[in-house]
Each structure stands twice: as C-alpha cells, then as structure tokens.
C-alpha cells in the first residue's frame, strides 16, 4: 500500500498494489497528520489523525474487489461528479487507408436519469471532439435512464455543416470516413452516493472501403498500317505491354488535361489473325487500373 501526499491544499491519495499494478483505494483529507491501516474488530479501515487529537477513517475493501459485487455497497465520494474516459486511437492497423465508421454501440449498467454517459469522438489525431449541439440539429449521443441498461446503438452521420458531427440516433446515415478514431466517454454521477454509471463495453462497427479500380475492354484493328506501325509491329507492342512489369499508360479520350489517363496492367489478350506473313488481324484487349 502506498500514500501519495497532495499539494499543501490538496487531498492525498491511497493506492494498493495487487502484484500486477497499482490501483486507487481512497482519498485522504489534506488536513490529516498521519495515516494507519488496521482491521481491528474485523473492520478494515484507513484511519487518519488530525489536529486536536481527532481521528477519522475510510472503509477499505479487502483484496481485489469488483465495485458491483462489493458488500457492503461502495459509497462513492462526492455527488454529481463528472469523469472522462478517452480510448486509444484506433486505425485498424492501416493508418494509410480510409475507413468508414458506421455505428457505435455502448453497453451500460447502473444507468438512471442522473447516471449518464455521453459519447463523443475525434478523427485523425485531432484534439477536438464534437460539441454538445450542432447547427444541423442533431443531438449528442448520451446513454441515460434505465432504458440504456444493456446495449445502446447510434449511427455516424455524414459530415455536413460541422467538422466533426455528433453520432445521431438509429436513423440510417452515410457514415463518416476516418484514418484513425477515438472515443471520449463523459460519465456523470447523480446525487446518490452508491450509484454510478458503469460502461461494460464500447464497440465500433466500421468498414474498409477498397479503392475503386477501373477496367476497360477494347478491340485493336490490325488490318492495316496505323500511326506509322505495321500490323506486325502493333502485335509486338501489345506483347511488350503484356509482359512488362511496369504499369502501362492507357487512355481512350483525347482531352487536353490528361484527366482520363490511367496506368494499367494488361490482363487478357484474344487475337484473331489471318494466316501468312503480315500478321493482320483483330486483337481483343482487357486492361485493369493498377
């Protein structure tokens, strides 16, 4: 067990080591002069001494205790407290690829009208989360009331009038693109000291959109010379394009900006050719953007 002194006007804290890591046990009043842990009479307590020989104590739990199963029930210090839990960034192991967030699900227990959890998110390593209200009228996703005990879901709307719009209700939406995403849960306690919102899990439904690749099929007429090439030379060039390891530039539109030029791989060749030495014929080509 360890004691950490606060600043001159701040409370100290008590921490317990369970063999794996340290976890918080209790808060010590800033005016406490000394502390002592004892289980006299079967009551496991942290005692404090104050000026004028006063003694106070904080009840401690024995061993690794799940707050939901603690007997007697744990009484949380303070009322109407607010705490944030921020998840790590999630990029699906591929930060370079755009993903689409579709739906978020949060599973909660202990929810009431006062014990609530607000769900916000940030995109692409931004420090900014969505605001409580937005100009497009969508409400913030907040789990509250006993109806939120269990799984509550909300969808991601398409980015509209705000840089980071809030998650909406279950009405289908377009989703929001992200390279990385993280969530911020704001947990709010009411005035009952033995109640607290309990988030069991949060899960993200998303998809990886494969970049569009365009394919084309066309027929080359090798029945006569064209562009200074004989039918035989055209066939040689086609075979070179098929066998090269580099991408081949392809276009079928004569535009000044080269906006419809594609770098492709030749994936198929079907040749109908006359006999003889001229190698005259028709060649069916299939190409796919690389």
Residues 41-50, mean pLDDT to the nearest whole number? 76
Q: What are the two backbone dihedrals, phi and then psi, of residue 250, each rounded to the nearest 5 degrees?
A: -135, 135
pLDDT band at 162 (very low <50, low <70, confident <90, very high): very low
Q: Looking at residue 193, what is its pLDDT?
A: 75
CB-facing half-sphere around the CA of 143: CA atoms within 13 A:
30
- Each residue of 141-153: pLDDT tens digit? 777 777 778 888 8
Q: How do strand 12-17 and strand 2-4 relate by DSSP bridges?
A: antiparallel
Write the CA distances from 166 to 129, 141, 189, 239, 258, integer angstroms: 9, 7, 22, 55, 40
> How confident is residue 55, by pLDDT bands cut at 50, 70 and 90?
confident
Query: Does pLDDT of 99 surpass 80?
Result: yes
pLDDT: which is higher, 66 or 125: 125
- Position 170 scores a pLDDT of 58
**Range 82-208 has CATH code 2.60.120:** yes
The per-type count for the chain, helices as H runs and strands as E runs, is: 1, 18
The mean predicted confidence, pLDDT, of the chain is 79
Residue 185 has pLDDT above 70, yes or no: yes
| pLDDT(168) > 60 | no
How many CA atoms does the CB half-sphere of 179 hold within 13 Å?
A: 6
* For residue 90, pLDDT beyond 80: yes
Q: Looking at residues 167-192, what average pLDDT do you find?
A: 80
> CA 197 to CA 199: how far, in whole Å?
7
Confidence of residue 63 (pLDDT cuts 50, 70, 90): low
- Pick 137 or 89 by higher pLDDT: 89
Nearest CA to 117 out of 51, 60, 188 is that of 188
pLDDT at 204: 92
């Amino acid at each position: 067990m360890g004691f950490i002194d606060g600043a001159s006007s701040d409370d100290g804290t008590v921490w317990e080591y369970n063999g794996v890591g340290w976890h918080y046990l209790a808060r010590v009043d800033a005016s406490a002069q000394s502390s002592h842990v004892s289980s006299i009479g079967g009551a496991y307590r942290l005692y404090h001494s104050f000026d004028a020989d006063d003694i106070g104590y904080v009840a401690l739990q024995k061993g690794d205790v799940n707050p939901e199963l603690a007997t007697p029930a744990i009484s949380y210090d303070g009322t109407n407290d607010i705490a944030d839990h921020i998840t790590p960034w999630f990029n699906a192991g591929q930060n370079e690829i755009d993903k689409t967030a579709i739906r978020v699900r949060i599973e909660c227990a202990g929810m009431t009208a006062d014990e609530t959890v607000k769900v916000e998110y940030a995109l692409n390593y931004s420090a900014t989360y969505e605001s409580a209200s937005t100009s497009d009228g969508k409400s913030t996703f907040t789990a509250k009331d006993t109806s939120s005990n269990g799984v509550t879901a909300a969808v991601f709307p398409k980015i509209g009038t705000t840089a980071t719009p809030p998650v909406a209700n279950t009405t289908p939406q377009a989703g929001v693109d992200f390279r990385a995403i993280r969530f911020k849960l704001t947990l709010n306690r009411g005035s009952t000291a033995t109640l607290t919102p309990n988030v069991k899990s949060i899960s993200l439904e998303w998809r990886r959109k494969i970049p569009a690749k365009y394919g084309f099929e066309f027929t080359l007429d090798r029945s006569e010379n064209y562009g200074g090439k004989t039918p035989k030379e055209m066939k040689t060039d086609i075979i070179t394009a098929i066998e090269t390891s580099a991408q081949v530039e392809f276009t079928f539109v004569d535009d000044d900006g080269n906006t419809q030029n594609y770098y492709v791989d030749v994936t198929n060749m079907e040749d109908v050719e006359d006999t003889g030495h001229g190698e005259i014929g028709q060649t069916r080509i299939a190409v796919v953007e690389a």
